[in-house]
Every structure is written in structure tokens, then in C-alpha cells.
Chains A and B, each alone.
Chain A
Amino acid sequence: MQALYAQLLVGLINGSFYALLSLGLAVIFGMLNIINFAHGALYMMGAFVAYFLLNLGGINYWWALLLAPIIVGIFGMILERTMLQWLTGLDHLYGLLLTFGIALIVQGVFQNYFGSSGLPYAIPDQLKGGMNLGFMFLPIYRGWVVVFSLVVCLATWFLIEKTRLGAYLRAATENPTLVRAFGVNVPRMITLTYGLGVGLAALAGVLSAPINQVRPLMGADLIIVVFAVVVIGGMGSIMGSIITGFALGVIEGLTKYFYPEASNTVVFVLMVLVLLVKPTGLTGRAA
């Protein structure tokens, strides 16, 4: 039983990465209608930026948490301005192919310069060590990841669903021409939204740097699962993607305990089941 609690908690930790990443995807899909396959590569860039900040600039983890999302976010906004914006109104397939191509190029470039086995990034001193919870030894860093990503997820949800800015955003998705008529700069808003989604991915990258090796393929390995999470949660649903992210982390954690061989397929089995029963995803509304 104790082992079970521990696995639940570990699942929740992985779930926070799924939640952060799928949230970014959901924001981008909801507002831009783009299936952002470059998300994994941008997550990886977040981790690399943290590595560079530390090793080249001597800038620590805490600043990286703030700076890496901004830097990668700006990179994302440049992508949006120079490439993605031309895809408005076209079939989803174009966005998918373009972003997938971008992901391959970015990963290829990083792999060429940094190899495949990755670079070390240490846990910040303040978060080293762990505490004994009775049923498991919880590394403080992991606890921090859960709490921090939960806060970020809820803040993003609040921003989009409950504030005036979020209302503009949602309105601009619904009817861009009308919103423009009210004097809102819609293209700029869309660029900023893409930057926000990308920033969330980079933030997840910084969070994961001390846990995993900083590797060029770290995003490629993760992104497929995250897409399944988004599909299960319902494309474009903010709260749906947060809840599904955490929930699937837990389910995957339990699978790792009861039948580890299936732990990398369980998410996809669930995706198939959900699509069969409810094709719009758990919280999705019919288009």
C-alpha cells in the first residue's frame, strides 16, 4: 500500500510536465488553430537555454526559470511572425507539417553541436535533498516541480478564462474581423499568445533540466505522449488539458508499478478508448 502512495506521487510529478506542455499546446491550438509539433523542440530549447545561462553566463536556476521562457518565447514569436502567420485559414495539415519540420531542424542542429547523450545540469542548492514522507523519500526538487507547475497552470487558466485580456483572446479566435473592428491589434495578440504557449514549454524544459539530462531529443521523446494527453483532454480546452495532464501522469505511474512493460503505451490505449466513446475528448465541445 505504501508503495502505491509513492507511485501515485511520482505519477503526479510526471503529470506536471504533461500538464505544462499540454497546456501550452492547448493555448496555441485554441487561439491560433495550429497543431504545434515544434513544442517538444521548444521544451528542449528551454532546458538548453538554462544550461547555457548557467555555464556561459553564470546565471542560476532561478533566473533561468524567468529568462529561458522569455528567450525561447521570443524565438517562438519570431517563428510565428516569419512563418506560422501565413498559414492562417489553411488546413491544419500545413501547420502540422511546418512545425514538425521546424522541430526536426532545431533538434538536428542541437544534436550536431551537442551530441545525443546530453549535458549535466545540477539541482539548485536550495532544493537539494529530500524529506521522508513515511511511505517514500520525496526529493524536495520533485515536490517543487508539482507545486510550481500547478500554480503556473492555474494562473494561465485564470488569465485566459477570467480576465479581460483572455476575453479579447477568446473573442479574437471566435471572430477576428469583429474584434479588429473594436480597435484590438489581433495579429499582435496572436503572436503574443504563441509566445506564451512556447514560454510554457520552455518553462517545463527548465524544470526538467535537473531531473533528466539536457538532451537534444528530450522533447521528441515526450511530445507524442503530450499530444495524446491533449487529444484525450479535448483539443483546445484549457482546464481539460491541465486535469488530463496530471491524471495521465498518475495513470502512467500506476502502470509502471503494476505492469511496467505497458507504461509507454497505456496513454495511447486510453486515447483510443476515449476517441471511440467521445471523439471530442473528455472536456471538448463539438466543433
Chain B
Amino acid sequence: MRTKSIAAFLLGTALAVTATGGALAQDKTVKIGVLTDNSGLYADLGGPGSTLAAQMAIEDSKIATKGWKVDLISADHQNKPDIGTAIARQWIDVEKVDVFMDVLNSGVALAVNNVVKEKNSVMINSGAATSDLTNAQCTPNTVHWTYDTYMLAHSTGQALVKAGGDTWFFITADYAFGHALQRDTAAVVTAAGGKVLGDVKAPLNNADFSSFLLQAQASKAKIIGMANAGGDTTNTIKQAAEFGIVKGGQKLAGLLLFLTDVHSLGLNVAQGLNLSSTFYWDMNDQTRAFAKRFAERAKNKAMPTMVQAGVYSGLLHYFKALEALGGNPHDGAKVVAKMKELPTDDPLFGKGSIEPNGRALHPAYLFEVKAPSESKGPWDYYKLVGTTPADKAFRPLSESACPLAKK
């Protein structure tokens, strides 16, 4: 029995070797899965646009002309961690997906992060905010590409405290992302000599923020930090205007505000808000060229958000690592190690690198939303007011709780 199975094994190997034309010839197939929110409150900032960005990365990398066979699939995790992990398991076990792209929503991202590590797959996260992905929860299988709560907290938080906003009240989305963003921002505020006067945890996808705004108003804090995202942020901003919060002398801080949010609010309401981003379509010729091509193919002709841009760039870098390896080893940790070894360089985020903990580094930009009179037309929304260099924008390795960072 035993000899029989060994013989079968040898025969099988021999067949496999002949089939691929030699022991060293590498498998050149790769399957990409975009796991995102296709139908909920984050669908505009990631969603189908993230899948389009992945498609464009496949085309622009010309990887197919180099003998690679690339498959792209996408799914909707509905912002539910249990659905996200179920899809992740099915994608790895049945669909043989090699790399997870986007995975916005911090709650879902942290859950999928565990599956990806357990199954030795790859996640290039663009949309999730929580800095825990490269801190306590870091894995050798995850790269966090676009931004995180640490970066947002430091870029926006520091700028506002410097401008005199030394007392804060937080309206926080009540899940992993909101908590992380509030924690990281509060740390920045206190370190800069400011004070946090209070907070309120609002349920995700809340329609009416007036109760919370009244509490923020009563706190008399100079800055109301909105540690939420998407529709929650736009509703908070809109209703804050209604309750005369800004007129009353308090300032709103959109800690995470996307281009699509500003578009949806309109400049009349959004003007003057500060926000941080690692990408804006109107930065240079390369970003403009990409954005133009993207918008032509996107639904509603929308310009890309930083999340979608991150999917594009992250995937380009993943392909570079695969090519450097000469083929797909179907070994997630190995590919990610290669990604960290290679310097990053792409048209949207420029030159950078990936830290041992999986954090991709690029400069962070502080923007101010233009007044309607300054805007030349649709999607002309931001003006640059400050830049944090790549090595200062994210949490330094020395402060990281990630075991991979200790060497």
C-alpha cells in the first residue's frame, strides 16, 4: 500500500514536471480578489471604483503580455466582518485567490487579516483606516497601502492644535475604525498640549446626529472631531451647519473625509474644512492623466478617491514583486517579503517603501476644501496647505507594537 502511494506520488510529480516543462519553470497565474463595500455607505469611496482601479492596474502593468494569466473577481462584504471572513475563506479555499485588494472597513479588515494570515495569503489593504493592521495586529501577509488612523490623527490633528484648537470633543463611529481614529487623534491632541473634553459613540450608519451635536455643543470644545466616515461624516457636517455649530465658534474636524464625501456635500457646505489624504487627483500630470482615464470609465464619471488610487498602486507593486520572483509561488508571506524588499514607485503615490510591519510609506497631504468661488468646476475641490514627508507621516517603527518591526 505504502509503496503504491509513493509510486503514485512520483508518477504524479513526473507528470506535473513534464506538464510545466521543467522543474524550475514557475506558475504564472494569479487571481486577484477585490473585497469591498459594493452597496453600502462606503461604496462610492471604494466599491466598484476599487474594482475598476484593479482592472486598470492589470492593464497598465501589461503583465498579460509577459506571459501571465490574471483573473479578477470582486465581492461585497456588506460591512459585516462575518460575511467578509466567509468570503475570504471561500476565496482562498475554493476560488484560489492569491491577493485581497481594498478590504475597506476596519472591522472587516481586521477579521480578514486573521484569515489571510492563517491561510498564508496576501492582503494589500487600501480602504481600512485602523493603524492596528501594522501595529498590534500586524502579520507577515498584510501590506497597508494608502493611509491609516495614525497618519490622519497626526496630519489633521496636529495642524488643528497648532492653529489654536486645543480642546476637543469627539463624535465617534462605534466600531473598530472610529475607536482607533479617536484613540490616535486624542493621543496627538494631548501630546501637543491640548485637552479632550469628552466623546460620544454614535452607531454606524446613523441618520440623525443632532443629539450628538448638541452634546458636542454643550461641551464648549473648540474642535469637534468627527471620527467617522462616509455618509456618517456628511450627515454630521450637514447637520452641524443646521445647528449653527460653526457659526457659534466651534470648528469641525473631518478626520477622515474622502473626495466623494466632499462632492456629495457640495462646496457650499464643505468649504473651509481641513482634511488629510495621501492622494488627490489634481496633484501632478501623472495623477491627472490617471484620474482622467479612471473617470471616463467610472460610474457617474467620478474622480478616483485615495482608496481607489491605493488599490491601483498597491496592485502594481504586487505585480512587480511577482515578476521579481519569476513566477507565483502561491506563498503569501514570501510575496509580501518581496514587496517589502523592493522600493515602491508608481505614478500616483511616487517613490516610497514598505516597512517590515507592512506599512507603506508616502507623504501625507493636508488639504483645505475650496470655497465655491475658488473652484473651477466639478471635482476641483482641494487646495494643498501642508505636506508631511513620508518618513514622518506614519507611526515610526520604534513605536510599533508589531513583532515584525523588532529586529
Contacts and interface: CB of A to CB of B under 8 A. Distances in A.
Interface in A139-177: 139, 141-142
B267 to A, nearest CB: 10
A6 B205 CA distance: 23
B47 to A, nearest CB: 7
Contact of A7 (B202, B211, B265): B211
B242 A117 contact: no
A260 B209 CA distance: 11
Interface stretch (A57-65, A88-96, A182-190, A209-217): A209-217
Interface stretch (B38-46, B325-333, B352-360): B38-46
B194 interface: no
A261 B201 contact: yes
Interface string A171-213: 0000000000000000000000000000000000000000111
Contacts, number: 116
A122 interface: yes
B242 A123 contact: yes
A130 B244 contact: yes
B299 A112 contact: yes
B217 interface: yes
Contacts of B208: 10, 13-14, 211-212
Given A211-B238, A217-B41, A264-B206, A137 B263 contact: no
A111 interface: yes
Contacts of B235: 212-213
A215 B40 CA distance: 11
A118 B206 CA distance: 14
Nearest to A112: B299
Interface string A227-265: 000000000000000000000000001001100110110
A103 B316 CA distance: 40
A137 B41 contact: no
Interface in B109-148: none
Interface residues of B, number: 45
Contacts of B244: 129-130, 137, 139
Contacts of B268: 120, 122
A11 B238 CA distance: 18
A142 B207 CA distance: 14
A139 B42 CA distance: 29
B242 A211 contact: yes
A274 interface: no
Nearest to B171: A260
A217 B40 contact: yes
A119 B260 CA distance: 11
A3 B44 contact: no
A139 B203 contact: no
A270 interface: no
B119 to A, nearest CB: 31
Interface in B196-234: 200-203, 205-208, 210-212, 214-215, 217-218, 230-231, 234
Given A115-B260, A115-B302, A211 B239 contact: yes
A125 B309 CA distance: 39
A118 B238 CA distance: 12
A139 B242 contact: yes
A202 B243 CA distance: 25
Contacts of A10: 208, 210-211, 214
Contacts of B403: none
A260 B202 contact: yes
Contact of A115 (B200, B210, B265, B299): B299
Given A7-B214, A120-B269, A263 B45 contact: no
Contacts of A114: 300
Contact of B207 (A111, A113, A122, A212): A212
Interface in B12-53: 39-45, 47
B368 interface: no
A218 interface: yes
A113 to B, nearest CB: 8
B272 to A, nearest CB: 16
Interface in A100-116: 111-116
Interface in A8-57: 10-11, 13-14
Contacts of B211: 7, 10-11, 253, 256-257, 260, 263
Given A7-B214, A211-B242, A115 B43 contact: yes
A118 B43 CA distance: 11
A183 B238 CA distance: 53
Contacts of B45: 117
B398 to A, nearest CB: 35
B61 interface: no
Interface in B44-91: 44-45, 47
Given A111-B39, A217-B41, A118 B207 contact: no
Contacts of A3: 214-215, 218
Given A117-B234, A263-B202, 20 more contacts: A3-B215, A13-B208, A112-B299, A115-B300, A116-B231, A117-B45, A117-B231, A117-B261, A120-B264, A120-B266, A120-B269, A137-B217, A137-B244, A212-B238, A213-B235, A221-B205, A260-B211, A261-B201, A261-B203, A264-B206
14 contacts: A10-B211, A116-B42, A117-B41, A117-B230, A117-B263, A119-B264, A120-B268, A122-B268, A130-B242, A221-B205, A257-B215, A260-B200, A260-B201, A260-B202
State the 5 A-B residue pairs at the shortest beta-carbon distance, nearest first: A256-B211, A120-B266, A264-B203, A117-B264, A116-B43
